[in-house]
Structures are given as structure tokens and as C-alpha cells.
A and B are shown apart, each in its own frame.
Chain A
Amino acid sequence: MQDLDAILQTRGLSVYYDTKKVVTDVNLDVARNRITAIIGPSGCGKSTLLRCFNRMNDLIPSARVEGQVLFDGRDLYSHDVDPTEIRYLIGMVFQRPNPFPKSIYDNVAFGPRINGFKGDVAELVERSLRRAALWDEVKDRLKASALSLSGGQQQRLCIARALAVEPRVILMDEPCSALDPIATLAIEELMRELSEDYSIIIVTHNMQQAARVSNYTAFLMVEEARVGFLVEFGESRQIFTNPEDERTEAYITGRFG
């Protein structure tokens, strides 16, 4: 594999919940303006690893992080870093769409407003909704409740909301697991488009989704002695056609996990 232009890098990253280690010594490079998938069986630490990239684990009192997460070379866990600022730059989309119980417009405008955005909010809302491929469906009912949207639309609204604060990276934790196949394909299509301007990391249980949508794939595993360690990282087309590690092979062909 060629050297990749990394926007995020983990170095010797381990995560503990109390004394329990859930991510073990992960060294992973996340490519700029590409989609990186993190796959692995349940309990392998995928979501925990994902949350390290924007310090969401800080919100869990028992969580402790060791090692480094470098964002363009800057350590995200350095004490002079403001985690709130990081969460603007590195946005997140969750498993279940979680729009605020507000209008479609206000959902998207929310972040910029509290962020003290001084420009044209209406223009920013439209741009964000367009980027999230939702504008045409909602432009005539921006004042309607976000909860009146379908699940797939709600998820795209959450993506628009994340985009409105102009992030560099978007983290997606199982973004399609609550969606039907058509809405899933719409999100995947959107991810492809967004990856021209943003770096995306997606955690997914859906192997075909990882194979379809991602440029790079990281496979994490859990064993009795070790939890959440990186088995293999590579270009997705190689991982899904000819993985190097037999544990990766066994997992992606459904022989365990």
C-alpha cells in the first residue's frame, strides 16, 4: 500500500474503562478526504476507538485514554486542547438519527448559532442541507418539525447539522443500522460525495457496506488475552478480495464473529 496522507493518526492508543482495557495499542492512520471503515466483531472496541477521535470518551467518567491521537500532527489529548473545539472540527453522526425536537431549519442552524456564527445563517442552512442531499426534499417545509421526517431523512439532517459547523472530519457510528436499504444506499452515496471535501471514518457491522463505500478498512479484533487490537489495515479492495491475515479472512467471510 502506498503511503497515505493522514489527517488523523493514533499512536500506541489504548483505552480503559476503569481497569478494563477495551482498545489495545492501536496505531492507525486515517486518510485525508477518504473514507475509512472500522470493522470487527461486537465488543472489539470499534465505537470506543471512533469516539477517541473527537474526545467523546471524555464524557464517560470511567474512561481513560493512553497514547496519542494526532490531528494534522497535533495531539488531541494535549491539555491545551479544548474538546468542544475538537468536536466542531471532528463531527459525529450516530447510529440512530437524533435530531433535536426543533424545526428542520433550527436543527441545522443550532451549531453555528451557539458557535457565534456571524454570517448568513439561512445561506449556511441551505448549503448544509444541499451537501447532505436533503435540500430538495425539505426546502418547502424548513419550519416543520425534524421529527416529521423519515428515518433516512433524519439521518441526512443529522449529517447536515454536523456539516453546518464546517468540520474537517465526520465520524459515523453505524449510521445506517436503523435505516432501510434504500435510505442506506442514499447515505452511502452521500458519503462518497462528502469524501471529496471531508475525511470520513465509519464504524459498521455491515461488511458489504464497508466494501462498497470505504477506501480503507481497519479490522479490529477481540481475543481472550487482548481486546480491541488492530489486526489488519489496508485498502478496502485488497481487504475484501485478498486480506493478508487469516483472522481478517475468517471474519469477512463470516467464519467467525
Chain B
Amino acid sequence: MVRADFDRSLEELQAELVGLSEMVERAIVKSMDALERRDLAVAYEVVDEDDLIDEKRFDLEEKCINLIATQQPLAIDLRTLLAVLHIAVELERMGDYAEGIGKICLIIGDAIPVAMPKEFSRMAQIGLEMLRGSMKSLVERDTALANDVWDSDDEVDALYDGVCRQTFLDMVQHPNTIEADTHFLWVAHDLERIADRATNIAERVIFLVTGKVGRYEGQSDEE
């Protein structure tokens, strides 16, 4: 292998990106847990730990820039580094949404007795599956899996629309819940955006593998 050192750097970079995705995954799980159980201590943790996610993102960015400057990557190497750069940003933004949910927990406090919309846990569950799926598609360079992630976004969008409709209705019928409902609309938005960002990661994986942007419509794998 002529570029063993560079290959090792690329592998390490990918491993660190997977590490970042795991941090984000934990943040999302914790934020939903905090919201469900109205656990302010956990919500504080999510908000605090977002700084670590931000740091990691900039760390990855710096490593990418160093490799671009020193290795002059082309073709698959160039696409890999660009994909890592993009995906690091997507992950960092997903972390921000988890932080957003954590902050809403803190605003709501443990006082408001209104139950959160039942769709939230499903939305979070699909979002997490999409995140894991998109990262797995990256590690395995699997465009079919990336397509699956892409397709899952529709269900989250539908759930989001349902939550919005129901919440607005609720606000009209029960004006005393307007404050809580407004917060819940933000949570719904954050969850919907988490799924969008996972879709973006899947899109980047397809770019990495095929060099083309967009859902993979290439040759079938059955050949």
C-alpha cells in the first residue's frame, strides 16, 4: 500500500466521526428521557454536554483541513474528506436539536402537568434509527441502506404534520395549554429536523460512494 499513513488517517477520521455520532445519539436519548420524566438534572447534562459535541466537530474539521492541505486528496479520498466535513456539521446540528429539547425541558420545568404528544417517542425512535442507519451506511459504504434512511424521513414528516395539526387544535380548544403546546411545537420541530439531518448524512454517503448528489438510483445490486 503506497499511502498506508494516509489510509490510516482516513480510518481514524471515520472512527472519530462514528464516535461523534454516538455522542449525538446519547444526547438525543437523554433529551427525550429528560422530557418524558421531566428530569431537569438530565436536561442540564444534555445542554452542558453539547459543548463537547461542538468541540469534536471542530476537531474533525481541523483534521480534514490538515489532510486536504498535506495530502492533496483526489477522487474517492477527496470525496471521503468532504463527506466527513459535511457529516460532522450535520451531527453537530443534530446535537443542537437535542440541546434544544433539553432547554425546553428546563423551560417547562417539572410544573406543567400537560402530557407530551404521543408521537414524540416514535419520532425520536425513527430519528435515532435513521442516525444509526446513516452512520452504518457510511462505515459500510452501503448506498441501499442510505436510500432506506432517506425513505424513512417521510414517516417522520407525516408524524410532524400530525403533531402540528393536533397541537394547534388543542391550543384553540384549550387556551390554557398554549404555553406548553408552543414548547411542544419546538420539540416536534427539533425531532423533525433530526430526521432531516440524518437524511442529509445518507445523502453524503451516496455522494461519497457514487460522486453524485441525490438518492441513489444506480444499477441494482442483484446483478
Contacts and interface: CB of A to CB of B under 8 A. Distances in A.
Interface of A: 207-208, 211, 240-243, 248-249, 252-257
A254 B3 contact: yes
B72 A253 contact: no
B72 A208 contact: yes
B2 to A, nearest CB: 5
A253 B79 contact: no
Contacts of A208: 72
Given A253-B76, A254-B6, 5 more contacts: A240-B74, A240-B78, A241-B79, A252-B74, A253-B77
Interface residues of B, number: 15
B141 to A, nearest CB: 13
Per CB-CB distance, the 10 closest pairs between chain A and chain B, nearest first, are A242-B211, A252-B74, A254-B3, A253-B77, A240-B74, A249-B75, A253-B75, A254-B2, A252-B75, A208-B72
Contacts, number: 37
Interface of B: 1-3, 6, 72-79, 210-212
A119 to B, nearest CB: 46
The residue in B74, B78, B79, B212 that gathers the most chain A C-beta atoms within 10 A of its C-beta is B74
Contacts of B79: 241-242
B18 to A, nearest CB: 22
Nearest to A207: B74
B74 A211 contact: yes
B1 A253 contact: no
Nearest to A239: B75
A244 B78 CA distance: 15
Contact of B1 (A211, A241, A252, A255): A255
A254 B5 CA distance: 12
A255 B2 contact: yes
Contacts of A248: 75
Contacts of B212: 242
Nearest to A249: B75
Contacts of B73: 253
B75 A241 contact: yes
A255 B130 CA distance: 33
Nearest to A244: B211
Nearest to A255: B2
Contacts of A255: 1-3
